[in-house]
Chains A and B, each alone.
Chain A
């Protein structure tokens, strides 16, 4: 039997939880509550007063075609960048786990991208993907007009997806590699002796055993792609061309801080928060069923 520590009085338990609760309250519930209040009013930016408008802010946002365009762009971005970052990281981790020549080096090197701040990373990618000056200039020399993120929304979207995925490959890689290394060698060796090839072993043994990690990373990647994309968008495209990369989190920033429409931005934050909550619930409810915990 496992021994459990119990407290005779509930108040002691609460006491231990207080510091954490206080932090969460100060840095999450309080600002979130403030955002809810702002989203129901029209705030004068200089604090001269506000007017209660009920759900008007939400109504006008949801009636705005640009906003729906922003939601679509965010979903496309989330799906593509999460897919790309996870698949690439999975392949790299699987290869590193096989201890190919130089895998010790990869193990260290592949983690680095996550350590780079988004704006610095975006700056580098802006240069690499610049159609006239960077690496893509060479491609444009061969196919003139092939790459033009300045006017072509798809190209611009591809740029920010590439930059974001590059960063999260490093993050996912750490988790995947740890998951692979937690699989008992004996299982793999036994399968190898039975004559199954590398791919067979991957699909039948390793993949099922790392599903908890895959699920965890899926939730994290999707959530982060909604939030952490800001720096990359700001430096690389500033939401353009023609709003094609105006992701929800960037629109909140530009409406709120550049446009001084604090109420509209607050309402958009609430919607973004709800969307992430719904997506996460969905993942736990439907995808987690297929996860095998040991």
Chain B
């Protein structure tokens, strides 16, 4: 209840703030913030913006949704080329390398320093900070909405096969899926194999098992990095997934076919899925009456020394070419977002996790994680902080990674349709992905990653 009370308090304070502020001061400095969330999430961002505007009188942030991450980046590029860019823009995780080479940003840490804000960068969860930081550890952008994938499992179904805990290893998963099938479940586990699932199936799997996606520490050490997932445990993983698919233990679920993974799980059709912690709220809201379920960290193969999973989501970039006044406003806004109270507001209203330790601690102290519907989301933090990030589990810093993800989808579809063998498919993924990296490197001939 304290959350709701706080919400009211914030609203009341906001209303009061507006009432007091308006007659007193001159027009506030306006600056633009473009973001890529839509629907419910966009409304939460709008509220966040309103709260910021109500919290002070000097600046006014104008928040505009561009629909999705791709469109946000495309529109920002078009706007930048025309000299009409927003001050702040939300760029998704895999756009980080492109942004770093763009020469179109103002480093976030410099911005904060120039405007007199002291941000303790060690307060960020290392797994989150390193994903967006340079190889030297400077924060060029601010982590914003962050998530990591979890395994969602149906407790009722697992009870039928005498299990009270989620499987921890992939070997156990195989056995449990078989048992579920034998117990009469038509769809023990659901996956999808489009470009989007590169995230949980390839990137997160590789991080947890400390396996590289690409050479040069996943691209952190230079633009001449090339893919190498055709030589790692990932091949074994795809082989297993394919084997389970052929045995009817795994079904493919996607929106195009009628029902996506989350719907399939929430309706009780499928018993296990792997998806973002961000879907935790959706499953809770749309689940079948009375269904018992829980979340767990993604499994790892037996004998693996488990590493941290990667952060997904987006960070906030400050673009170059704006006035000092606008930069002051942007700095104030970033400082507002950094506040633990904002973290609580943000995580309560979305499924995203807090990005700082202080935010997490504050939420724990408010009892956020103690009861439904938020109980279980702390598993995401456990997964993200399972280890100190290694050279490989810092993240992925590859150019045009969106295209590599698309290639992942293409090759997985070819593999699952029996057009090519697992090894052939992943070899082609590496070959085509390398061509994309090659092209990216040629486009930036004398630039290096910061």
Contact = CB atoms under 8 A, between A and B. Distances in A.
A242 B417 contact: yes
A150 B194 CA distance: 10
B403 A42 contact: no
A149 B73 CA distance: 30
Contacts of A131: 257-258
A195 interface: no
B289 interface: no
Contact of A132 (B102, B258, B411, B442): B258
B111 interface: no
Given A47-B80, A261-B400, A42 B70 contact: no
Interface in A236-267: 236-238, 240-243, 254-255, 257-261, 263-264
B258 A152 contact: no
Interface in B250-290: 252, 254, 256-259
Given A46-B102, A264-B439, A259 B403 contact: yes
Contact of A237 (B70, B98, B256, B417): B256
Interface string B179-194: 0000000000000001
B100 to A, nearest CB: 11
Contact of B258 (A66, A134, A236): A134
Nearest to A48: B103
A45 B98 contact: yes
B163 interface: no
Contacts of A152: 417
A43 to B, nearest CB: 7
A259 B399 CA distance: 9
Given A257-B74, A259-B436, A264-B439, A149 B256 contact: yes
B81 A242 contact: no
Contact of A130 (B81, B252, B257): B257
A238 B439 CA distance: 23
Interface in B375-415: 400, 402-403, 406, 409-411, 413-414
Nearest to B319: A46
Contacts of B411: 242
A257 B439 CA distance: 15
B443 interface: yes
A32 B109 CA distance: 42
Interface in A108-162: 126, 130-134, 137, 148-153
Nearest to B405: A258
Contacts of B259: 132-133
A196 interface: no
A157 to B, nearest CB: 13
Interface residues of B, number: 38
B445 interface: yes
Interface in B74-126: 74, 77, 80-81, 98, 101-104
B419 interface: yes
B132 interface: no
A237 B256 CA distance: 7
Contacts of B73: 260
A202 B409 CA distance: 50
Given A133-B258, A150-B254, A243-B410, A260 B98 contact: yes
A47 B80 CA distance: 8
A45 B102 contact: yes
B414 A150 contact: no
Given A44-B444, A240-B194, A151 B413 contact: yes
Given A130-B258, A131-B257, A152-B417, A258 B402 contact: yes
A151 B257 CA distance: 10
B410 A242 contact: yes
A48 B403 CA distance: 21
Interface residues of A, number: 41
Interface in B411-450: 411, 413-414, 416-417, 419, 432, 435-436, 439, 442-445
A257 B70 contact: yes
Q: Which of A51, A64, A236, A258 has the largest count of B CB atoms less than 10 A from its CB?
A: A258
A113 B32 CA distance: 40
Contact of B419 (A43, A47, A53, A242): A242
B252 A46 contact: no
Contacts of A259: 400, 402-403, 406, 436
Interface string A69-80: 000000000000
A236 B254 CA distance: 12
A254 B435 CA distance: 16
Contacts of A263: 443
Nearest to B73: A260
Interface string A56-94: 000010001010000000000000000000000000000
Contact of A242 (B104, B413, B436, B443): B413
A275 to B, nearest CB: 23
A46 B99 CA distance: 9
Contacts of A45: 77, 98, 102, 443
A260 B77 contact: yes
Contacts of B103: 46, 48
Contact of A240 (B403, B409, B419): B409
A261 B413 CA distance: 24
B93 to A, nearest CB: 15
A137 B419 CA distance: 25
Contact of B443 (A43, A133, A237, A238): A43
B402 A241 contact: no
Interface of B: 70, 73-74, 77, 80-81, 98, 101-104, 194, 252, 254, 256-259, 400, 402-403, 406, 409-411, 413-414, 416-417, 419, 432, 435-436, 439, 442-445
11 contacts: A42-B442, A44-B443, A46-B81, A46-B102, A47-B81, A51-B442, A150-B257, A151-B413, A241-B414, A259-B406, A260-B402
Given A137-B258, A151-B417, 7 more contacts: A44-B102, A44-B444, A47-B80, A53-B442, A240-B413, A259-B403, A260-B77
